[in-house]
């Protein structure tokens, strides 16, 4: 498996403070140990915890104002940091504007600064739809030096999504969670996704800061392929968390056949319509 040291930024994020949040990302990334080959940033690492503090039409306006096109300021920073540190970067989701539509989009960059994956969150609930957020069309499998399957927030609620990622060749699952009390409830559920699929899983958590006070902490966790907790960080300050992946946790996964790819396409269509299909 080679060197699979991953750095996860466990971030203390301020509400609607994009300049401040991105400066913390920049500073911590530049301080990273050179042995880390992949950098992971949590959900809404640029805007901070906005979903929990606005409601209805006001939240819809906030989302539109916070949304960025891709490429844009946040994606440009990730690309720059990937080149500067010669590292793979995975971050998000951020709020993306594409024409009149909004998406919750996770971005992945190569050490050359190339955008190699843009995953638009697959599971969108009725509340998200009312806010104008659209669902993506395909699962998020990022081909770094290992294949990473991305679970963004409520993707974790559905075993079908994690299963589609593993069927598609992912050997590691990474769950990107908002720093909020609501998303903290997903932590135990994500351990099941590791056990069900016999793959290691990383939770990228963080801290929600509102008016200078800590409101919620979502732990940053590494589970092995049997769902055993290897690392757990619940600090209330920003710092990188280094995770060394044991090659023994990984089993060789065959290349996805055409039949498997058709199954994945079917799963994605089902998830977009929010119907349940058990694997």
Identify the pLDDT of residue 275. Answer: 43
Kindly state which CATH superfamily the domain 5-272 is placed in. Answer: Carbon-nitrogen hydrolase (3.60.110.10)
Print burial letters for 80-104: b (CB count within 10 Å at least 16), e (below 16). Answer: ebbbebebbbbbbbbbbbeeeebbb
Distance CA 241, CA 70 (A): 28
Task: Name the 3-class secondary structure at 108.
Answer: strand
Residue with tokens 């006001």: 58
Residuewise pLDDT in 10s, the chain (279 residues) = 446 899 999 999 998 889 999 999 999 999 999 999 999 999 999 998 887 776 667 888 888 888 999 999 999 999 999 999 999 999 999 999 999 999 999 999 999 999 999 999 988 877 788 888 998 888 899 988 889 999 998 888 888 889 889 988 899 999 999 888 888 788 989 999 999 999 999 999 999 988 888 988 999 999 999 999 999 999 999 999 999 998 888 766 555 555 665 666 666 666 656 544 333
Identify the pLDDT of residue 262. Answer: 64
Nearest to 199 by CA among 208, 207, 190: 190
Residue 10 and residue 233 in contact, taking contact as beta carbons nearer than 8 Å: yes
Residue 106 and residue 176 in contact, taking contact as beta carbons nearer than 8 Å: yes
């Amino acid at each position: 498996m080679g060197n699979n040291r991953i750095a996860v930024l466990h971030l203390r994020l301020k509400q609607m403070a994009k300049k401040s949040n991105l400066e913390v990302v920049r500073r911590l990334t530049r301080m990273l140990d050179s042995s880390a080959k992949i950098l992971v940033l949590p959900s809404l690492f640029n805007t901070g915890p906005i979903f929990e503090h606005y409601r209805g039409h006001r939240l819809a306006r906030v989302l539109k104002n916070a949304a960025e096109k891709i490429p844009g300021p946040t994606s440009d920073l990730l690309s720059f940091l990937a080149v500067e540190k010669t590292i793979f970067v995975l971050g998000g989701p951020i709020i993306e504007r594409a024409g009149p539509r909004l998406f919750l989009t996770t971005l992945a960059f190569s050490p050359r600064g190339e955008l190699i994956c843009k995953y638009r969150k697959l599971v969108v609930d009725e509340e998200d739809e009312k806010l104008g957020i659209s669902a993506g069309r395909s699962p998020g499998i990022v081909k770094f030096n290992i294949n990473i399957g991305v679970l963004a927030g409520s993707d974790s609620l559905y075993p079908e999504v994690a299963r589609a990622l593993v069927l598609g060749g992912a050997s590691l699952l990474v769950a990107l969670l908002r720093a909020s009390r609501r998303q903290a409830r997903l932590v135990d559920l994500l351990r099941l996704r590791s056990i069900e699929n016999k793959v290691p899983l990383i939770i990228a958590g963080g801290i929600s800061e509102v008016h200078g006070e800590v409101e919620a902490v979502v732990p940053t966790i590494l589970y092995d392929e049997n769902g055993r907790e290897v690392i757990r960080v619940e600090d209330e300050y920003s710092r990188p968390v280094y995770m060394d992946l044991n090659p023994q946790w990984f089993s060789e996964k065959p290349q996805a056949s055409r039949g498997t790819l058709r199954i994945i396409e079917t799963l994605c269509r089902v998830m977009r319509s929010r119907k349940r299909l058990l694997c």
